[in-house]
Each structure stands twice: as structure tokens, then as C-alpha cells.
Structure 1
Amino acid sequence: MPIRPEHRWLYPIDWPEISRIVRFKRAGGRCEHCQRPHGRRVAQLAGTAGVWWDAEIRAWRDGTGRRLRQPPSFVPLDAIRMTRRPVYLATAHLNHDPTFSGPRWRNLAALCPRCHMIHDAPEHRRRRWWNAFRRRALGDLFTGRYT
């Protein structure tokens, strides 16, 4: 994920190198939560909890990366919706604090877009609430109460 210009100063100067090491050396080019491979298009069943086809082991995996014992039960062929999405890993801060990467980068994880959004969802809700709260407070301060 690109870093916003106003947040660039929070990251260390060698962030691109740290991110590359976490994504490709430590994680081996796979998402650390669901094992999706970087740079490939992954077939994912729509309407499931992230069930996807791993072409390397020729098996279905669930949203947490575990291999399914049985293939997913299919509905009629015309009702199946399968999406093929490219996977690009990003380095995520597990505690949402870009100023602290922790000893030996334990606070960092290589995540696919799906896992990154799932991980960040509570933080996004908190920030959305805070921005709305701040906007209303400024409105009350300068323009009076809302109607």
C-alpha cells in the first residue's frame, strides 16, 4: 500500500528495504495469514469466507490458509462466481503504529490485500469515528449546533 505523503516522516528511512525483507525473505513471497502467493492471480470463490485455489499444491484453501479436507460443495455451474484477483503483498504494522517496528521486526507482517483489510478493519472504524467526531466538534465550535 502506498504511504501518504503526510505520514512519510513516521517511517524509517530504509522502509522500502525493510518491507522487501519482510515480504520476500521472511515470508517467502506468501501472505503470512492465508498463504496466498505474491504476484499471481488467485481464483477465489465468491460468497465464501475467502476459499481459494492454490495451484502449487493443487488444492483448495480456506481464508486462513488451511488446506480444505474436502473440496467446497459446488452449486450449479451457472451460479458459481469465481473471481481471479492479483495478489500483491504489503507489509503491515500489527499494532497500527508505523513508528515502532519492534525488535527484529516482530510487529511487521507480510499480508495480502484481503488479510490486510481484515486486520485493519477495527482501526479503520476507529479512525472513521474519530474524524466524524472531530468534524462535528469543529462545526459546533464555529457554526453552532447541527440541525
Structure 2
Amino acid sequence: MPIRPEYRKYYDARWRRLRLMLLEAAGNVCQNCGSPHRLLNVAHLSHDPADRTSLVVLCPRCHSRHDTPQRVAVTRRTRARKRGQLWLSQELEIAPLPVRMWPAKLRQLRLFG
């Protein structure tokens, strides 16, 4: 899947070096299913390209399975917005989205302690 234009700034030379280090450390094996694969991906477990602490090496199949709920949530919200859906509150609108996509005002709230 191509990198979205707004995320390209996160995938610079430092990212490429980190990616190679992670692939070598994983021994070219998927860290989820354990199968060797020649086309491994480094995935963001948090779905946040700025977060380089929650990275894992996955085969394309495991990466797709990991990303599916995120893709479905974002697609539903995009379609609903295009159809003119309104939400009772901003919190309900962004509920299925990852925190990084919340407006700055809401990201600063302490929701979990």
C-alpha cells in the first residue's frame, strides 16, 4: 500500500535504517505467525506513523489482518461524512478512530487516568 502524502515526512532515511535493523533482528520471519517470508513489513501496532516504539515485523497476511479493523473504521467514517451524516457529539464521531486522528483539543484530555 502506498504511503499517504501527509505521512511521507515520517518515512525518511532514519526510518529506512530502523526498518532494516528490525528486519534483520527478526531474522526475516514474521513475528506473529513465525513463517519465513521474503516480503516482510514493519507495522505500527498503534497505527501511528510518528510512534516508533510499537513496531513489529509482519508478513503481508498478518499485516493485513492487523490493519483491517482500522481500515474499516476509517472507511465507514469517510463514507458517512460524504453522505452528510451528523453526530450528536464530536466524541461519537471520532470514537472508532485512533487517538492520533482526534482533534488536538480532545487528544489532550486525560481519558484513562
TM range (shorter): 0.5 to 0.7
In the alignment of these two chains, the number of paired residues is 85
> Once the two structures are aligned, what percentage of the paired residues are identical?
40
Whose Rg is larger?
1
Instruction: Determine the structure 2 residue equivalent to 1:108.
Output: 55
1:98 aligns with 2:49: yes
Q: CA deviation at 1:134?
A: 1.7
1:28 aligns with 2:27: yes
TM-score of the superposed pair, with normalisation by structure 1 = 0.52
TM-score of the superposed pair, with normalisation by structure 2 = 0.67
Q: CA deviation at 1:13?
A: 4.5
Aligned mates of 2:25, 2:35 — CA distance in 1: 15
Q: CA deviation at 1:133?
A: 1.6
Aligned mates of 1:28, 1:116 — CA distance in 2: 17
Instruction: Determine the structure 1 residue equivalent to 2:76.
Output: 129
Q: CA deviation at 1:12?
A: 5.2
Q: Structure 2: state its 5+ residue gaps.
A: 86-113
Contact kept, 8 Å, 1:12 with 1:99, in 2: the verdict is no
- Structure 1 residue runs of 4+, over 4 Å off? none
Q: Structure 1: state its 5+ residue gaps.
A: 40-87, 139-147
Considering fraction of residues, name the structure with more helix.
2
Aligned-residue Cα RMSD (Å) equals 1.8
DSSP 3-state at the match of 1:9? helix
